[in-house]
Chains A and B, each alone.
Chain A
Amino acid sequence: MHTVSDKSAEVAFKPLLRFEMDMATFLSDWQHCDQLSTFMARMISHNRADPIRHSNFFSFALNELLEVSFRGGSPQGLIDCTVYRRDATERVRLSFTCPAEQQEFYREAVSRTHQKDAIARYLNAISMDQTPNREVILLDLAINFDARVHLEKRTPASITLVVDLPLEGSIC
């Protein structure tokens, strides 16, 4: 498992935009995933070399992460999403409340994005499964968006995913 413990690297990422919302409110409407990802992508992409396409790519990735929290989250507490930037990379830090028993699932799912058989697992899933599970979504981001996925240290009843997306270099 990878954890974000390098403080100097953390400092180098500058915060761009943050939203915080009651989980109950967030979970009240599926469209929140699309609306929030579209809005945040547009806001943070304005000064990228190709803002329209950067926004499109970023929106894809953020929407998938928000959908993960929608499908796995609990209606208590908050969802907290911050987007940071360092050079060509955007970092999404997404915290949401979820049942304690799911923490191990996320830990394993994140760990699998770093394993050598990630692509084989991904291909097997898209050829066999009717609908994607949350593990496949993290694999998709790692494989198709070159994302580095991490999990922050355990906190009670919540998960914090940290996803680094080096989109700028792959778009222009």
Chain B
Amino acid sequence: MLSTTPFHAEFDSNSQEFFLAGVIRPHSVDEIAASIFMLREAIDDVRGVLYINLKRLVQMNNTAFQAFARVVLDSCRTRTDLRFVVVTSSVVGWTERMFKHLSSIDPRVTVEVYDSGFYPGQSFVEDTGFIPILRTQTKMTWRHERTILSRHGMRPGIVMADICCGIGDFAMLVKKEFQPTRIVALDHSMVSLAYAREMATSFDIADIEYTYGDACEMLLEDNQFDLVTCRHSLQIFNRPDVLLKELFRICKPGGRVYITNEKNSHCLGEPHSQSIQWTYNEVAKLFSHFEMDVELGPKSRRYLADAGFDDILIESFMVTNLDGDPQDFADVIAAWENVYAGEMAVKRGDSSEFIERFRQGFRDHIFAALHPKGYAGWPIWAASGRKPS
């Protein structure tokens, strides 16, 4: 009838972490006796603290909850030296509600909700003030992507997922242009998703399934989608390989995963090319400081191959000031200046002299974009791979 996510239990003694994942709905405790035994052994093995990681737990019935809870609470009585940290995901909110009761019974059990710290650079890209710029960016890239997507598996009637959908504008454009049968659009920002739903409602688009989730720990089942898109996101995750593994998992065998990424140091402009190039080289270093790789674009082929994809296609396109209104291009660069120079460089602790020079490159890029004889470019790499059948 329906495929059930297999139940998985594991103990990592190095990190003193006991993992539970998947769907755990036993008829009796006997069915999970091995996992209960593993938890007891983990408790015997650790010193100080045991982490119980439930981030990938999809379902757990009361039979399993009570059995695991009982082991933890019994251990609190016999191991006064030990405390327990239950790590739940904000995506599966009932786990937090249920396990928090254990704290009421014994305060040495605490619950940590894994949400806002999904990845190191998250706070920079979830600022609501950034939303108009994200829309403009999508408008600029869509002119190119709408002509290349069909080479990467986009076609009418498919079932697709847009992972890290942000404010959902790409999903809406795809819906109108390519008429997929189903679109699931996932992001980790409640604010962005609220905006996406509002926009979809105002455009009378009712059938995009916007969902809150962590792209590295998705609730979505295996082998579901003909096409999985993930744009400008691998480059801002500190573990792009983990994210790509999840995209591979939810893609159908024979389906494709499509990714876009930048190589920021290749942003260019004339006049003032040297100032512009210096600044974008520094952008790459700045992101690297926050564990993000905005040079990832040309590495897409390697990442896709390492993740197990075949039939890998990669191409690049240049968003320029000549594509549409040059002011759009200038507005995007101005927004980058505000975030990169105004927030990130400040947070890194850069000197005011550095920040001023850093800003100048963005201003020169804007000058090039708006100059009647100027040229400004923003290169993007689009790549896709097929999940082997």
CB atoms of B29 and A131 under 8 A apart: yes
Asked if A30 lies at the interface with its beta carbon under 8 angstroms from chain B, I say yes
Asked if A38 lies at the interface with its beta carbon under 8 angstroms from chain B, I say yes
- Contacts A57-B94, A144-B97: A64 and B62 contacting too (C-beta < 8 A)? yes
Asked if B385 lies at the interface with its beta carbon under 8 angstroms from chain A, I say no
Q: Max chain A CB contacts within 10 Å: which of B23, B28, B29, B94?
A: B94
Which chain A residues border B104 with CB–CB below 8 Å? 123
Closest to B197 in A: A49
- Contacts A63-B25, A127-B73, A130-B67: A140 and B62 contacting too (C-beta < 8 A)? yes
Chain A positions within 8 Å of B, measured between CB atoms, are: 30-31, 33-35, 38-39, 46-47, 49-53, 56-57, 59-60, 63-64, 67, 122-123, 125-127, 129-132, 136-137, 140, 144-145, 170-172
CB atoms of A144 and B94 under 8 A apart: yes
Which chain B residues border A63 with CB–CB below 8 Å? 25, 59, 61
Which chain B residues border A39 with CB–CB below 8 Å? 1-2
Q: How many A-B residue pairs have CB under 8 A?
A: 106
Which chain A residues border B63 with CB–CB below 8 Å? 67, 131-132
Which chain B residues border A137 with CB–CB below 8 Å? 62
Our pick among A34, A51, A126, A140 for the contact of B209 (Cβ within 8 Å) is A51
Query: Mostly helix, strand, loop or mixed at chain A's interface?
Result: helix
Asked if B227 lies at the interface with its beta carbon under 8 angstroms from chain A, I say no
User: Whole-angstrom distance between the alpha carbons of A136 and B63 in the complex?
Assistant: 10
User: Whole-angstrom distance between the alpha carbons of A167 and B70 in the complex?
Assistant: 28
User: Whole-angstrom distance between the alpha carbons of A125 and B61 in the complex?
Assistant: 15
CB atoms of B210 and A50 under 8 A apart: yes
User: Interface range on chain B: under 10, 10 to 19, 20 to 34, or 35 or more?
Assistant: 35 or more
CB atoms of A56 and B66 under 8 A apart: no
CB atoms of A56 and B59 under 8 A apart: yes
CB atoms of B219 and A52 under 8 A apart: yes
18 CB-based A-B contacts, threshold 8 Å: A35-B1, A50-B193, A52-B184, A52-B220, A53-B211, A53-B212, A53-B213, A57-B93, A122-B101, A123-B101, A130-B29, A130-B67, A131-B63, A131-B67, A136-B66, A144-B94, A144-B98, A145-B94
Which chain A residues border B98 with CB–CB below 8 Å? 140, 144
User: Whole-angstrom distance between the alpha carbons of A161 and B389 in the complex?
Assistant: 46
User: Whole-angstrom distance between the alpha carbons of A35 and B4 in the complex?
Assistant: 8
Q: Fill in one digit per residue for B318-329: 1 if any A CB lies within 8 Å of its CB, else 0.
A: 000000000000
Minimum-distance CB pairs A-B, first 6: A52-B211, A132-B62, A30-B27, A144-B97, A51-B209, A127-B105
